[in-house]
Chains A and B, each alone.
Chain A
Amino acid sequence: MSTAHVLLGLLAGGPRHGYDLKRAHDERLPRAKPLAFGQVYATLGRLERDGYVTESGQDRDGGPDRTSYELTEDGRQHLDTWLSAVEPPAPYVTSEIFSKVVVALLAADAERARDYLVAQRSAHMSRMRELTTAKSTPGASIGDVLAADYAIGHLEADLNWLQTTLTRVAAFSKEVTN
């Protein structure tokens, strides 16, 4: 996920300063890891260096000076290109869960891999319950529901994978340890 592109997207609606960008980012992408202020300013610095944003003014509003940024024409073009580009669907299979099963077989045995799969399933179900409760809560925003939907769909896929892997773990163990 590109924080830079989200910031560009937020600036497409008009100039904003760093604090405002952080707040809007966290609001529009609920359940994403909240953006650190340091990351906002570092990203804005890179975007400015690349000519995608430029300082548009200072305001004080009773506190310290705050620098506002706005999108440049190059920035708008860059954002448009990013929006039009289709993401390559899963070009690499990288998953901590998958890696852990492989390493359990390499470092220990099928039993260890099974124990891990069972514990992981339980954690996945528990998280899925939390997300389902959150999205079913009256007054949940559409953004919250969409974020929960996305996470639930991926957890469900993982759960299916955990189940099928369990039935294949003995055969996989032979392949890995050969």
Chain B
Amino acid sequence: MSALLSGTSIVRNYGATPALRGVDLTVDEGEIVAVTGPSGCGKSTLLHCLAGILRPDAGTVTYREQNIGLWSEAARSRLRRTEFGVLFQFGQLVPELTAVENVALPLLLAGSGRREARGVAAEWLDRLGVADLAEQRPGTMSGGQQQRCATARALVTQPRVLFADEPTGALDVLTGEQVLGEIVRVAREHGTAVVLVTHASSVAAYADREIVLRDGVLDPTGLGLGVAR
């Protein structure tokens, strides 16, 4: 069986600074993969490349056996709206919209009608345990509540891959654990693959497997051997 998503020899530089120096990674259908490593190791850049947000300078990103690097920006944008979900450390909810409007947004962008989108969004808020916040705006919610809404928004289109970049990094331990538990539970229920970027081993432990990046390359030992030596 071929991988759902794979990166091959991904290179990405920021000016003269290399962020990724040839990274290989595969993600299977429904698999949860943690990408860990110290600050500045390139893990967020890898996530952005895999999610089609950044174009690698070299190497390929393949989704369902298609090289998405060859696609136009419009086609990659469509892929992100329909097949991918993205979740960042800070929910990045639209402050002027209510929770249900925020969650309905990806469905409206994908062409759903307003009434249908709101209905589905309400279901997802319920699934994430925040149905009672549907009519509230992000400014009136706690960090944990916002992140649950953002998770609902990231999953509302039932993406095949969820990209989560330090999704609980701004939350206290207990709230973070609850939100992470919900993300993993819902992803497993729907067979959604997750690429989970984190620097914390306790967060990585929620994944099926872990890959460690160090200085822009894979570190098979997890401790910097074969990289720094």
Contact = CB atoms under 8 A, between A and B. Distances in A.
Contacts of A128: 201-202, 205
Interface of B: 181, 184-185, 200-202, 204-207, 210, 221-225
B175 to A, nearest CB: 14
Interface in A88-129: 114, 117-118, 121-122, 125, 128-129
A62 B164 CA distance: 59
A132 B205 CA distance: 6
Interface in A150-178: 152-153, 155-156, 159, 162-163, 166-167
A19 B210 CA distance: 43
Nearest to A126: B205
A152 B202 CA distance: 7
B184 A156 contact: no
A117 B224 CA distance: 11
- Give the size category of A's interface with B: 20 to 34
A125 B224 contact: no
Contact of A125 (B181, B184, B200, B222): B222
A131 B225 contact: no
Interface of A: 114, 117-118, 121-122, 125, 128-129, 131-132, 136, 152-153, 155-156, 159, 162-163, 166-167
A170 to B, nearest CB: 10
B201 A114 contact: no
Nearest to A127: B205
Contacts of B207: 129
A117 B210 CA distance: 17
A147 B94 CA distance: 39
Interface centre among B204, B206, B223, B225 (most CB of A within 10 A): B223
Nearest to B222: A121
B39 to A, nearest CB: 13
Nearest to A129: B205
A163 B204 contact: no
Given A125-B210, A136-B181, A136-B184, A152 B205 contact: yes
Contacts of A136: 181, 184-185, 206
Nearest to B174: A149
B58 to A, nearest CB: 30
Interface centre among A122, A128, A132, A156 (most CB of B within 10 A): A132
Given A136-B181, A136-B184, A131 B223 contact: no
A124 to B, nearest CB: 8
A125 B223 contact: no
A159 B225 contact: no
